[in-house]
């Protein structure tokens, strides 16, 4: 056997749904067999979903994941399957099982446990240190899990130099952020070339709270050339034929690592080798491989699909069908409603416009037009009567104190209450509409416009909100977000003639400073040196710092940048540091 048919099952499991995830694995096992694959690989922790977080502290959770794995074993008759699960030995491990022709023949334990950014794996797992090589009819396959492959000196090096591996499979759960796909592809290509080895990378797909896994699985040859790509942001079975004979040939040409190589010393390097018994072939010919589109998405296209998937999965996985969005006639709520419509269908999105004495006629018109464009339901609930009653109730306490931000917040909170009342009564999930720029500086009302289950744009800077809106109008070849919404000046409409620019620098100036501070952790001095005015920078940084308490109580938001608010950025509320 020289051509090896490999399948990557890029699937979308649900955290904690051990039975459902096992069913999903069995379904893709059948698909892979039907496609004539010799081996099929599933993503990291596919049985538990990723990240399972503190579910891993419940021994019953790990036990049930093992039971689920055991039920899969007999279903691997006729194929080899690599399945991500939690192994329990002396401790628990992030692991890959080698299931072969109905038997569980080996297990690999992840070596490198990421504990930065959104990852907390040292909290849960013991690390592995042995390398696993599977010999399948003379083809030597090495395994690794996610972070392992990001380490230039990780197990891949031992696999190829001392384990003589032809094909290196990495099973991953690698969340999306802007630019990540390209970085990943470059890295994998470099690894393949450095180690002269064919590579397969299978990634999870789907949304899990803040995280969105993008799929984009890859098969590369030993020269780093991409042979097949998984789809972005949806499930896929990637099938590719590898000519593994080329690996040996290429190593005769590129001898960079020859002097390090001592195959005889494999065991000394902690390498376990298992021989997979050969599987008698049936008579049918393998089905031909389907053509695969290889077009990569642009950055804005990726963000768009990431958000749509993130919304859809948050609803489906949490048992919600319908979304409710408070429409203000502004760009953020318009884009949020449009994304919800893409994710859930227009019949499942409800828009409510909640005017006050400060709302302009144009706002109503824009909200109405948007709802019409999106074909979503539209309702108007005026807040003035409730607002007036609040003021009357508070009068004995407020007496003749001047109106200030209190009254503005009150309006936002009435809207929050109305949305939550609809949510409670009809079971709709409220989507909040704040973007990353506002969330950064706290330009929002806690329990007001931050009230809801999911903050769709929480990680989308204002400038990108415009770009996404234009992109959406373009791909739908229609005006979904009205032009007048794209054109007008941002305003919260909480007092007469209010504009965002009364309180904030223009977003084109604000966003780069926020990027430098929030995403790059630059200091005041360093940002000033980039050419921004000191006074403005100081004020922006102060706003970011003192609004940590608001972010702490906000709903989870979908991560699309390298550093999102939430599990990615963990700052104390009580914090006197400034600079």
**Enzyme catalytic residues:** 44, 110, 146
Q: Is 218 helix (H, G, I), strand (E, B) or coil?
A: strand
Q: Are strands 429-432 and 454-455 parallel, antiparallel or unpaired?
A: parallel
Point out which span in 147-155, 224-232, 260-268, 408-416 binds its own copies (CB under 8 A).
408-416
Between CA 441 and CA 456 the distance in angstroms is 17
Quick note: the x/- pattern for its own copies over 500-539, rule CB under 8 A, is ---------------------x-xxxx-------------
Point out which span in 81-89, 164-172, 324-332, 406-414 binds its own copies (CB under 8 A).
406-414
Minimum Å gap between C-beta 365 and its own copies is 21
Between CA 326 and CA 387 the distance in angstroms is 17
Could you say which of 253, 259, 290, 401 contacts its own copies (CB under 8 A)?
401
Cα-based distances in Å from 358 to 334, 362, 407: 19, 12, 12
For residues 441-480, which are near its own copies according to CB under 8 A? 446-447, 451, 453
Could you say which of 129, 291, 404, 489 contacts its own copies (CB under 8 A)?
404
Q: Which residues contact 44 (CB under 8 A, 6 or more apart)?
A: 50, 84, 94, 96, 110, 145, 146, 171, 172, 173, 204
Closest C-alpha among 410, 357, 403 to residue 382: 357
Residue 153 touching its own copies (CB under 8 A): no
Minimum Å gap between C-beta 18 and its own copies is 7
- Measured from the CB atom, the residue of 116 and 248 that comes closer to its own copies is 116
Could you say which of 22, 25, 32, 52 contacts its own copies (CB under 8 A)?
52
199 alpha-carbon distance from chain centroid: 23
Closest C-alpha among 74, 235, 257, 69 to residue 161: 257
For residues 105-134, which are near its own copies according to CB under 8 A? 115-116, 120, 122-123
Of how many residues is the chain composed?
A: 579
Residue 556 touching its own copies (CB under 8 A): yes
- Measured from the CB atom, the residue of 51 and 482 that comes closer to its own copies is 51
Cα-based distances in Å from 286 to 34, 65, 221, 483, 494: 9, 33, 21, 53, 66
- Measured from the CB atom, the residue of 197 and 451 that comes closer to its own copies is 451
Terminus-to-terminus CA distance in the chain, angstroms? 63
For residues 1-40, which are near its own copies according to CB under 8 A? 14-18, 20
- Measured from the CB atom, the residue of 265 and 571 that comes closer to its own copies is 571
Quick note: the x/- pattern for its own copies over 314-343, rule CB under 8 A, is x--xx-------------------------
- Measured from the CB atom, the residue of 448 and 490 that comes closer to its own copies is 448
What's the DSSP call for residue 428?
Answer: P
Q: Do the Cβ atoms of 144 and 119 come closer than 8 Å?
A: no
Residue 206: phi and psi, rounded to 5, are: 125, 165
Closest C-alpha among 180, 227, 160, 213 to residue 49: 213
Neighbours of 214 (CB within 10 A): 27
Q: Which residues contact 331 (CB under 8 A, 6 or more apart)?
A: 465, 466, 469, 481, 485, 486, 490
For residues 360-379, which are near its own copies according to CB under 8 A? 379
> The dihedral of CA 119, 125, 127, 131: what is its sign?
negative
CA 77, 80, 86: angle at the middle one, nearest 5? 105
Minimum Å gap between C-beta 290 and its own copies is 32
Could you say which of 66, 394, 486, 528 contacts its own copies (CB under 8 A)?
394
For residues 237-296, which are near its own copies according to CB under 8 A? none
Could you say which of 96, 311, 414, 468 contacts its own copies (CB under 8 A)?
414
Minimum Å gap between C-beta 366 and its own copies is 22
Minimum Å gap between C-beta 513 and its own copies is 15
- Measured from the CB atom, the residue of 316 and 360 that comes closer to its own copies is 316
Could you say which of 23, 31, 35, 53 contacts its own copies (CB under 8 A)?
53
Point out which span in 70-78, 251-259, 404-412, 508-516 binds its own copies (CB under 8 A).
404-412
Could you say which of 165, 331, 386, 456 contacts its own copies (CB under 8 A)?
386
The kind and range of the H/E element at 200 are strand 198-203
Q: DSSP letter string over 272-307? A: EEEEEPP----SSPPPPPPP---PPPPHHHHHHHHH
Minimum Å gap between C-beta 250 and its own copies is 37
Minimum Å gap between C-beta 468 and its own copies is 24
Between CA 305 and CA 232 the distance in angstroms is 8
Cα-based distances in Å from 571 to 438, 459, 544, 548, 551: 18, 16, 11, 7, 10
Point out which span in 90-98, 331-339, 403-411, 472-480 binds its own copies (CB under 8 A).
403-411
Residue 356 touching its own copies (CB under 8 A): no
Minimum Å gap between C-beta 45 and its own copies is 12
Quick note: the x/- pattern for its own copies over 179-218, rule CB under 8 A, is ----------------------------xxx---------
Could you say which of 4, 28, 42, 61 contacts its own copies (CB under 8 A)?
61
Could you say which of 66, 381, 463, 543 contacts its own copies (CB under 8 A)?
381
Minimum Å gap between C-beta 130 and its own copies is 22
């Amino acid at each position: 056997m020289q051509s090896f048919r490999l399948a990557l099952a890029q699937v979308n499991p649900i955290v904690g749904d051990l039975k459902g995830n096992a069913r999903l694995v069995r379904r893709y096992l059948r698909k892979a067999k039907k496609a004539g694959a010799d081996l099929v690989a599933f993503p990291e922790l596919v049985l538990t979903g990723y990240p399972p977080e503190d579910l891993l502290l419940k021994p019953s959770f790990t036990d049930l994941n093992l039971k689920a794995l055991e039920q899969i074993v007999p279903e691997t008759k006729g194929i080899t399957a690599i399945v991500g699960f939690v192994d329990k030995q002396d401790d628990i491990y992030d692991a890959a099982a080698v299931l072969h022709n109905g038997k569980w023949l080996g297990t690999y334990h992840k070596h490198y446990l990421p504990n930065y950014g959104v990852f907390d794996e040292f909290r849960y797992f013991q690390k592995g240190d042995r390398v696993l090589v599977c010999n399948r009819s003379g083809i030597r396959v090495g395994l690794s899990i996610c972070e392992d492959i990001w380490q230039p000196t990780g197990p891949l090096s031992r696999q190829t130099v001392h384990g003589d591996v032809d094909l290196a499979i990495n099973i991953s759960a690698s969340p999306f952020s802007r630019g990540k796909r390209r970085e990943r592809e470059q890295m994998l290509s470099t690894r393949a070339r450095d180690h002269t080895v064919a590579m397969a990378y299978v990634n999870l797909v789907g949304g899990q709270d803040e995280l969105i896994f993008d799929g984009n699985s890859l098969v590369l040859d030993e020269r780093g050339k991409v042979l097949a790509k998984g789809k972005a942001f949806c499930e896929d079975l990637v099938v590719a034929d590898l000519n593994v004979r080329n690996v040996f040939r290429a190593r005769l040409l590129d001898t960079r690592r020859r002097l390090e190589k001592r195959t005889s010393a494999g065991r000394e390097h902690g390498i376990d080798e298992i021989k997979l018994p050969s599987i008698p072939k049936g008579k049918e010919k393998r089905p031909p491989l389907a053509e695969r589109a290889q077009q990569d998405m642009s950055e804005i296209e990726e963000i768009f699909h990431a958000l749509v998937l993130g919304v859809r999965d948050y609803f489906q996985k949490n048992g919600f069908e319908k979304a409710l969005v408070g429409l203000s006639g502004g760009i953020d709520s318009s884009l949020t409603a449009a994304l919800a419509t893409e994710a859930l269908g227009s019949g499942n999105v409800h828009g409510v416009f909640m005017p006050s004495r400060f709302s302009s006629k144009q706002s109503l018109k824009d909200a109405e037009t948007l709802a019409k464009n999106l074909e979503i339901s539209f309702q108007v609930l005026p807040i003035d009567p409730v607002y007036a009653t609040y003021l009357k109730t508070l009068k004995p306490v407020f007496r003749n104190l001047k109106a200030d931000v209190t009254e503005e917040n009150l309006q936002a909170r009435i809207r929050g209450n109305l949305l939550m009342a609809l949510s409670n009564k009809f079971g709709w999930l409220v989507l909040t509409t704040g973007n990353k720029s506002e969330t950064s500086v706290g330009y929002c009302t806690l329990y007001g416009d931050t009230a809801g289950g999911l903050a769709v744009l929480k990680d989308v800077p204002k400038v990108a909100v415009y770009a996404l809106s234009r992109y959406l109008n373009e791909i739908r070849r229609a005006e979904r977000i009205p032009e007048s919404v794209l054109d007008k000046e941002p305003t919260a409409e909480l007092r007469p003639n209010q504009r965002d620019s009364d309180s904030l620098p223009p977003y084109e100036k604000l966003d780069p400073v926020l990027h430098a501070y929030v995403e790059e952790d630059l200091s005041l001095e360093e940002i000033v040196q980039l050419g921004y005015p000191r006074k403005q920078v100081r004020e922006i940084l102060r706003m970011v710092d003192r609004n940590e308490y608001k972010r702490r109580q906000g709903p989870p938001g979908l991560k699309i940048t390298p550093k999102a608010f939430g599990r990615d950025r963990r700052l104390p509320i009580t914090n006197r540091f400034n600079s």
